[in-house]
Amino acid sequence: MFLFQEKLYKVEMEWALSDTERKVVRKSNLFLKPFFNLLKNAIEAMDEIQGKGKIRIEHYYKNGEIHIKVS
């Protein structure tokens, strides 16, 4: 998130983290790049539309899988 500091003052971040004791063990690069691009695109889209907005990140465990939802 710190990589987007100059644009984050316009963006509200909402976190809904449950089941945080469950971890995903993989190569970090496999997760970092897609999340980086997803957040970058979301922030840029908000900037073009109105210059502000909200990003909600949810984390939960269901049916034997960890789910991460960004909206």
Write down the pLDDT at residue 55.
86
Burial pattern 24-63, b for ≥16 Cβ within 10 A else e, equals eeeeeeeeeeeeeeebeebbeebeeeeeeeebebebeeee
- For residue range 24-61, list pLDDT tens digits in order: 777 777 778 888 888 888 877 776 656 678 888 898 88
- For residue range 9-23, list pLDDT tens digits in order: 577 888 898 887 887
What pTM was computed for the model? 0.67
Write down the pLDDT at residue 5.
55
Confidence of residue 4 (pLDDT cuts 50, 70, 90): low
